[in-house]
Amino acid sequence: MWGGCGAWVESGVDGWGQVERADGAVASGAKAAALRWRLRHIGWLYGGRSVGARSPWARGRVLASLAVLTAGLQAFHSAVPNAVGRLGSLLETFLPWLGLAVPLLLVAALLRRSALALVALVLPAAVWAYLFGGLLPAGDRGAHDIMAVQHNVSDENADPAGTATALIEAAPDLVALEELTSSALPVYEKALASDYPFRAVVGTVGLWSKYPLSDVRPLDIKPEGIREDWNRGVRSTARTPWGDIAVYVAHLPSVRIRGNGFSTGWRDESAGLLGDAIAAEKLDRMILLGDLNSTVDDRGLDPVTSRMDSTGRAFAFSWPEAFPVSRIDHIMARSATVTSIRTLPATGSDHLPIAAGIRLAQGQHGTPGGGNGA
């Protein structure tokens, strides 16, 4: 488009604004004016230099700024305020995906031939690696004493029997289910009975166990304003070879993205109630399983994550099943270590099941006994 610009020279302007071309032809004043406008704006766009002559360190300032912004959002996500539209929680829900900005900006920097942008990209790449590099798939990172499975089975699941069979194939010791319906519950009970003779069900959540369960009671995590028949938490004591362990199953309220922002009020209130229950738990060893409708990066879950081991050691995105983008299903522990976590094959639910190995805290690993009330 601009290849012929160099052929124009101002060699004289008469009263009508005409100029001569280098080959002696006469161009109109309108063409000359257009040419001068083009040349002037090319100089403005490229800092007074030709495209090829501009330094790679002077190009790509916008790309470099975007790289620094991406690094800042990752490193200081907690500084993004929640006062307006709960933007901080929304960012933290999908925080790992900010890493996609790095390859996109890399391609743009290469096309722009900007050394400045390439150097700036080191910053967001390093921050992402620090925050999430340890969560990349690396297999089982340690032996475990207990295997647990957590699954929101969906109240629209058309194949509860097949779902139960799929969970049994993972050979867990504990199975936690949410969104149990009155019609599907008998199916799950029948399918799981032989492998998991002990169960604790309250409302729409339940726990099936290979170990005897006692002291079963509802967890009061219902926010104000929700109807009375809302029961989505259960607490029980599992009597294991390693001692008594408090096992919680919880399903926190859903969140929505609305026109006025990220709606998390009930979820946050319920997380606070769950955190209070965890803090008041008398047994030292605890396992928490549930659909918490939040990721471990979301500050809305701080009342829970601050009291439990929630490292997870893997992304294990569990929702939505068709294209998982976040892990809102969790297996956490206290006075114990989650050694591995992974997703299981899809069932009839819109969530993927997750399975985790748990190593119990004790002086000699693998030695039953000790703990609380063994």
Q: Is the domain of 310 the same as that of 180?
A: yes
d(CA 34, CA 28): 10
CATH code (residue 297) = 3.60.10.10
Q: Is the domain of 223 the same as that of 85?
A: no
Q: Is the domain of 206 the same as that of 269?
A: yes
- Looking at the 3D structure of the chain, how many domains does it have? 3
Q: Is a pLDDT exceeding 70 seen at residue 372?
A: no
Residue 269 inside a domain? The answer is yes
Q: Among 135, 155, 190, which residue terminates a domain?
A: 135
Beta bridge partners of 189: none
Residue 54 inside a domain? The answer is no
Residue 33 inside a domain? The answer is yes
Q: Is the domain of 342 the same as that of 240?
A: yes
Cα 232 to chain centroid, rounded? 23
| Structure tokens that stand for 4 in this block | 């012929």
Residue 372 inside a domain? The answer is no
Residue 141 inside a domain? The answer is no
Query: Domain range for residue 160?
Result: 146-360
d(CA 359, CA 271): 25
Q: Is the domain of 38 the same as that of 117?
A: no
Q: Is a pLDDT exceeding 80 seen at residue 246?
A: yes
Q: Is the domain of 129 the same as that of 211?
A: no
Q: Among 104, 135, 166, which residue terminates a domain?
A: 135
Q: Is the domain of 258 the same as that of 315?
A: yes
Q: In this predicted model, what pLDDT tens digit does every residue of 58-115 receive, in sequence order?
A: 889 999 999 999 999 999 999 999 888 888 988 998 999 999 999 999 999 999 999 9
Output the 3-class SS for 90-141: HHHHCHHHHHHHHHHHHHHHHHHCCHHHHHHCHHHHHHHHHHHHHHCCCCCC
Q: Is a pLDDT exceeding 90 seen at residue 189?
A: yes
> Burial, 183: exposed, middle or buried (Cβ in 10 Å; 0-12, 13-18, 19+)?
exposed
Q: Is the domain of 104 the same as that of 239?
A: no
**Please, are residues 32 and 5 in contact by the beta-carbon 8 Å criterion?**
no
Q: 49-60: string of b/e by CB count within 10 Å (b at 16+)? A: eeeeebeeeebb
Tokens 């219902």 correspond to 222
Measured CA to CA in angstroms, residue 64 lies from 112, 119, 163, 311 at distances of 11, 8, 49, 32
Residue 30 inside a domain? The answer is yes
**Please, are residues 300 and 328 in contact by the beta-carbon 8 Å criterion?**
no
Q: Is a pLDDT exceeding 50 seen at residue 17?
A: no
> Burial, 189: exposed, middle or buried (Cβ in 10 Å; 0-12, 13-18, 19+)?
middle
Output the 3-class SS for 203-234: CCEEEEECCCEEEEEECCCCCCCCCCCCCCEE
Q: Is the domain of 155 the same as that of 130?
A: no
**For residue 3, what pLDDT is reported?**
46
Measured CA to CA in angstroms, residue 143 lies from 124, 135, 267, 316 at distances of 34, 18, 34, 19
User: Other C-beta atoms within 10 Å of 322: how many?
Assistant: 7
- The torsion angle over the Cα atoms of residues 65, 71, 76 and 81, rounded to 10 degrees, is 50
Q: In this predicted model, what pLDDT tens digit does every residue of 140-188 receive, in sequence order?
A: 556 899 999 999 999 999 999 999 999 999 999 999 999 999 999 999 9
Q: In this predicted model, what pLDDT tens digit does every residue of 318-358 receive, in sequence order?
A: 999 999 999 999 999 999 999 989 999 999 999 999 999 99
Strand duo 146-152 + 174-178: pairing: parallel
Number of H helices and E strands in the chain, helices first, is: 10, 15
Q: Is the domain of 101 the same as that of 178?
A: no
Residue 302 inside a domain? The answer is yes
Q: In this predicted model, what pLDDT tens digit does every residue of 232-243 receive, in sequence order?
A: 999 999 999 999
Q: Is the domain of 109 the same as that of 156?
A: no
d(CA 289, CA 306): 16
**Please, are residues 214 and 237 in contact by the beta-carbon 8 Å criterion?**
yes
Element (H, E) at 161: helix 160-168
Residue 56 inside a domain? The answer is no
Query: In a 3-state reduction of DSSP, which class is residue 345?
Result: coil
Q: Is the domain of 69 the same as that of 194?
A: no
Q: Among 135, 162, 182, which residue terminates a domain?
A: 135
